[in-house]
Amino acid sequence: MTPEREQRLLQVLRRRQPDLTLIADKVHKPRNMAALVRNCDAVGIPKMHVVKPDHEYRRYRGTSRGSDRWVESVVHSTLTEAVDAVRAQGMKIYAAHLSDTAVDFHDVDYTVPCAILMGAEKAGISEEAAQAADLHITVPMMGMVESLNVSTAAGIILIEAQRQRKLAGLYELDRMPAEVIARHMFESRYQ
Amino acid sequence: MTPEREQRLLQVLRRRQPDLTLIADKVHKPRNMAALVRNCDAVGIPKMHVVKPDHEYRRYRGTSRGSDRWVESVVHSTLTEAVDAVRAQGMKIYAAHLSDTAVDFHDVDYTVPCAILMGAEKAGISEEAAQAADLHITVPMMGMVESLNVSTAAGIILIEAQRQRKLAGLYELDRMPAEVIARHMFESRYQ
Ligand SMILES: C[S@@+](CC[C@H](N)C(=O)[O-])C[C@H]1O[C@@H](n2cnc3c(N)ncnc32)[C@H](O)[C@@H]1O
Ligand SMILES: C[S@@+](CC[C@H](N)C(=O)[O-])C[C@H]1O[C@@H](n2cnc3c(N)ncnc32)[C@H](O)[C@@H]1O
């Protein structure tokens, strides 16, 4: 790693948002997982939560563009486990879910500690996941098709979270634990 | 098609935005093309422009969720052809391009007639395309990876266009030519 890139990594790590995360609930296509990780990196999420699909689970492949090196994934066997993990960190849970009670994703406060919960390609958000959430949020649709691709929907919501957090100055706070930064900087030399 | 779905189709067609479009400049992965079409449908784009990649061009496959039935694609052999087509309709061209002169995509007016120009997976926006554009727009990145997936970036920009156009009342104007609506309604009975 060049000194310039090392500087860049340090700067990126200092902007990381430990109180923002994403939960992927049984998303099973590797390319969607890869795109989700890439979205997380782009808005400064240091750690995401992955609930394993029932059948297959291959690690992402394709187009994460190396972002899985920079975003940690915690794999859970059940949704409850993932929910408990983010609740333990005091996070609200916003489920991206086209339910009757869902609100427009623009009208939500993402500057509070929060987890964005994304559903699977076909099944969407499970009944259990819908209930576990504090709020259902929706990206408005004006066409014939009723949903977006999961990673597109996540990107749209996360970039709104980024916009709000930038306005609130949350990218200037240098909130990552020093030892996490040190570990990343160390590893970057040997990978 | 059930009468309910027919009603829905009519409603959707009436909200279509003839002065908003997308140009995909040599995007070659069918799944990305499929996701782009799906995004267009979601914000009410009736017709998109596709510049053929140099090598392969297969029709989309995968996850357009049938949106290619509702969004027309005009295929061009060169970018110039696509640019001429949208200019002839009085549209501005906003290139999604991470150049030095790019502005944050939030700070752009999408209520004027405009085309969003998206670059290819690896090559991005060509020099020629960058020059043809009125403005370069960028989705801010806070991580290590330097770009988003092309369909995610398009979704983010188009949903902002949708938000602005909704505020401006542009989804209430019923601007699609009657014969286009009639043709869709007719075809929907026989497909
Ligand atoms: C392809 S969609 C699943 C569609 C599924 N048939 C359903 O009805 O939920 C996969 C996931 O993407 C997210 N998603 C897709 N479109 C969305 C939208 N317009 N608003 C909010 N979330 C969306 C949701 O988390 C959803 O569970
Ligand atoms: C994967 S990117 C291409 C990356 C290419 N290496 C480059 O430097 O342009 C494919 C296309 O997605 C769009 N794109 C991706 N990330 C973007 C961002 N953050 N802002 C604006 N457009 C973006 C652009 O249209 C780009 O040409």
The model's pLDDT over B80-92, given as tens digits with 9 standing for 90+, comes to 999 999 999 999 9
Using the predicted structure, report yes or no on whether residue A60 has a pLDDT greater than 50: no
Residue B167: how many other CB atoms lie within 10 Å: 10
Strand A135-138 vs strand A92-96: parallel, antiparallel, or unpaired?
parallel
Torsion of the alpha carbons at A127, A129, A135 and A136, rounded to the nearest 10: -60
Q: How does A135-168 read in b/e, with b if 16+ C-beta sit within 10 Å?
A: bbbbbebbbbbebbbbbbbbbbbbbbbbbbbbee
Cα–Cα distance between B132 and B25 in angstroms, integer?
12
Mean of pLDDT over chain A: 92
pLDDT tens-digit readout, B109-136? 999 999 999 999 999 999 999 999 999 9
pLDDT score of B189: 80
Asked whether B147 and B124 are in contact (CB, 8 A), the reply is yes
Angle at A26 between CA A31 and CA A162, to 5 degrees: 65
Residue to substitute from B152, B171, B176, B187, interface A, most A β-carbons within 10 A: B152
- Residue A157 in contact with ligand 1 by CB distance below 6 A: no
List the single best residue of B9, B142, B151 to mutate versus A (max A Cβ within 10 A).
B142
- Among A147, A150, A156, name the best residue to mutate to test ligand 1's pocket (greatest count of ligand atoms within 8 A of Cβ): A147
Between B16 and B1, the more confident residue is B16
Give the bridge partners for B115, in sequence order: B21, B93
- For residue B165, the distance in angstroms to the closest alpha carbon of chain A comes to 11
Using DSSP's 3-state secondary structure scheme, residue B94 falls into: strand
For residue range B24-79, what is the model confidence (pLDDT) as tens digits? 999 999 999 999 999 999 999 999 999 999 876 555 454 556 667 889 999 999 99
Whether ligand 1 lies within 6 angstroms of the CB of A98 is answered as: yes
HSE-up (13 A, CA, CB side) for residue B65:
17
Q: A34 near A8, Cβ under 8 Å?
A: no
Q: What is the model's pLDDT at position A164?
A: 98
What is the C-alpha separation between A38 and B148, in angstroms, rounded? 7
- Residue B75 burial by Cβ neighbours in a 10 Å radius (0-12, 13-18, 19+): middle
Element (H, E) at A175: none
Q: Which amino acid is at B121?
A: E
Report whether pLDDT(A64) > 80.
no
Assign 3-state DSSP to chain B and report helix, strand, coil percentages, each to 5. 45, 20, 40
**Radius of gyration (C-alpha) of chain B in whole angstroms:** 16
CA dist B38 and B130 (Å) reads: 25
- Better-predicted residue by pLDDT, B161 or B180: B161
Mutation target for A interface from B68, B148, B174, B187: give the one with most A CBs within 10 A: B148
Predicted local confidence at residue A172, as pLDDT: 94
Domains of chain B (ranges; CATH) run 19-186 (3.40.1280.10)
B12, A144 Cβ separation under 8 angstroms: yes
A117 Cα: distance to centroid of ligand 1 (angstroms)? 10
- Say yes or no: B178 contacts chain A, CB-CB below 8 A: no
Q: Are A140 and B162 within 8 A, CB to CB?
A: yes
**What is the rounded CA–CA span in Å between residue A93 and residue A128?**
13
Average of per-residue pLDDT across A40-58: 88
Q: Do A15 and B142 touch (CB under 8 A)?
A: yes
Q: Whose CA is nearest to atom 5 of ligand 2?
A: B124
A59 against B8, higher pLDDT? B8
Query: What's the confidence (pLDDT) of residue A96?
Result: 98
Contact, A155 vs A133, CB < 8 A? no
User: How many residues are present in chain A?
Assistant: 191
Cβ(A8)–Cβ(B109) below 8 Å? no
Q: Is A170 on the interface with B (CB under 8 A)?
A: no
Contact between A22 and A76 (Cβ < 8 Å): no
Residues in chain B: 191
Burial (CB count <10 Å: 0-12, 13-18, 19+), residue B143: buried
**How confident is the model over B7-23, as pLDDT tens digits?**
999 999 999 999 999 99
C-alpha span between B181 and B191 (Å, rounded): 15
Query: Tokens in use for B106?
Result: 């939030």
A65 in contact with B, Cβ within 8 Å: yes
pLDDT at B93: 98
Tell me the count of A-B CB pairs closer than 8 A.
122
Residue B61 sits at the chain A interface (C-beta within 8 Å): no
Read off the pLDDT of each residue in A40-46 and give the average, rounded to a whole number.
Answer: 97
Give contacts of B67 with chain A, Cβ < 8 Å: 143-145
- Give me B101's structure tokens: 């002169």
The encoded tokens of residue B103 equal 């502005």
Per-residue pLDDT reduced to its tens digit, A116-163? 999 999 999 999 999 999 999 999 999 999 999 999 999 999 999 999
